[in-house]
Each structure stands twice: as C-alpha cells, then as structure tokens.
Amino acid sequence: MIEDDRPAPRHRRPQGTGDEAVTAAGRMTEALETTECARGHLYSFHQLTGRADGQLDEAVAFLRAAGQDELADRVSQELVGRNVLTGRWTFQLVEEYDDGYYRAFRRLEEEVRGRLVEGRRHVYEAEMKERRRTHGLPHHTAVPGGNEAAGEPRDGR
C-alpha cells in the first residue's frame, strides 16, 4: 500500500476553491472532450470522403470496361473531385473547424481552468475517483507506484 495514497498534487483542488468552481471547470473540460470526439469524427469524415472519391476512379474504369461510357463520364464529371459543400473539400472544413470553433473552445477551456483551478487538469475527475475507489485495496490506489506517488510522472514532466 502507498503511504500517502492521495491524488497527485497536480490533480488536487487548489486551497480555497469551492465545489462550484471545480464542477464548472470539470464540465468545461468534459465539453472539450466531447468536442475532441466530434473533431475525430470530422477527421474520419474527411478521410472517408477522400477515400470514397479515390475509389470512384476504379468504379469509372469498371464502368468503361463494362461499356458504360456515358455513366462513366457522368460519374467522372459530376462526382469525382466534387466539393462536399459550396466551394469546399473536406480538408477546408477541417481547417475552418480547427482554426475557428475548435481553437476558441480549447482557449476558453484553458482560461476557465486557469481562473478556477490554477490551470490544473482533471481536478473534478480526481475527486470523483477518490469518492468511488475503495481506499486501501490493490488496484484502487490514487496514483501509480514509485515516484509517481509523489505526483510526478516517471519521465519527470
């Protein structure tokens, strides 16, 4: 058992910080995490759409081999390389999302944490872990063993 079985200092509530502030910072981070998932889906959309566009080349070739030149021409002219939205391919959607909404979201989430919990990450989750784990049992420790028990990761960062 770890002698000082508490969350790492970087995950502890700053002294004098109220429940509302910890919850607000936690909810803001949770919202950012949801946005991270949405961003991942946007990148999947980008890659899958690009892959589908590339696969059309083979479909066009098979249409031509099947003697369907008119259909091949239509697919090639109307669909291959087509914008997914007016004037935009998916890479442009990704760039606009990243440079606008996503950048603002990350900046504001960091500002909220900075003001409410001294920039500390996952304070809300660390407190939830403390409430939910069974203290004193293996596999329920606050932090990994060794130097990490003092709140520092193995690589010293």
pLDDT at 138: 87
Beta bridge partners of 85: 88
Q: What are phi and psi of 2, to 5 degrees?
A: -75, 135
pLDDT at 3: 56
pLDDT at 146: 46
The rounded distance, in Å, linking the Cα atoms of 52 and 50 is: 5
The rounded distance, in Å, linking the Cα atoms of 91 and 49 is: 10
Tokens of 113: 């944490």
Q: Which SS3 state, helix, strand or coil, does residue 85 take?
A: strand
pLDDT at 5: 87
Burial per residue of 113-135, b for 16 or more beta-carbon CB atoms within 10 angstroms, e otherwise? beebbeebebbbebbeeeeeeee
Q: What is the pLDDT along the chain (157 residues), one digit of tens a residue?
A: 445 789 999 999 999 999 999 999 999 999 999 999 999 999 999 999 999 999 999 999 999 999 999 999 999 999 999 999 999 999 999 999 999 999 999 999 999 999 999 999 999 999 999 999 999 898 999 999 743 444 445 444 4
DSSP H helical ranges for the chain: 19-65, 69-78, 90-97, 103-117, 123-132
User: First-to-last CA distance in the chain?
Assistant: 24
Is 8 within 8 Å of 121 (Cβ atoms)?
no
Q: What is the largest CA-CA distance in the chain?
A: 78
pLDDT at 111: 99
Residue labelled with tokens 């001294």? 118
Tokens of 87: 């004037």
